[in-house]
């Protein structure tokens, strides 16, 4: 079985401060990990993914994520949050040989001006 945990329902951060959205996963074998962002009344937009190689992955809109195999984590980070980053963020995992992507429940990020 494969699963994702996003432990915080909502993350509040002041504009200009670092933003971190946490994600831990459970999967058999090496994982494929993804982050998506969803703005109100819109579909999910792909931010970044980890397949193999460098543990630090850079993505769209200044976001990056760090894969930590020992902690089974893939936290999303942004050095300086913008008000426009306020959205719902989803972490997802797929195990090798599995066509299904398992999503976490999502984290609401609120960036306070």
Total interface residues for another protein by CB under 8 A: 26
CA distance 35 to 89: 7
* 56, 36 Cβ separation under 8 angstroms: no
Q: Does 58 help bind another protein (rule: CB under 8 A)?
A: no
Residue 106 makes contact with another protein by CB under 8 A = yes
| Number of other residues whose CB lies within 10 A of the CB of residue 11 | 18
Position among 46, 71, 79, 80 found at the interface with another protein (CB under 8 A) = 46
Window contacting another protein (CB under 8 A); options: 15-23, 36-44, 59-67, 69-77: 36-44
Report helix, strand or coil for 44: strand
Selection from 66, 72, 103, 73 nearest residue 88 by Cα? 103
Which of 2, 22, 32, 73 touches another protein by CB under 8 A?
Answer: 32
Residues that bind another protein (CB under 8 A): 4, 32, 34, 36, 41-46, 49-52, 90, 94, 96-101, 103-106
């Amino acid at each position: 079985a494969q699963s994702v945990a996003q432990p915080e329902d909502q993350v509040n951060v002041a504009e200009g401060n670092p933003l971190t959205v946490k994600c831990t996963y459970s999967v058999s074998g090496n994982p494929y990990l993804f982050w998506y962002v969803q703005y109100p009344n819109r579909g999910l937009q792909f931010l970044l993914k980890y397949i193999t190689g460098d543990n630090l992955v850079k993505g769209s809109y200044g976001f990056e994520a760090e894969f930590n195999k020992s902690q089974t984590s893939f936290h999303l980070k942004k050095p300086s949050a913008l008000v426009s980053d306020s959205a719902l963020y989803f972490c997802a995992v797929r195990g090798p040989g599995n066509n299904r992507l398992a999503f976490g429940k999502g984290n609401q990020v609120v960036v306070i001006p």
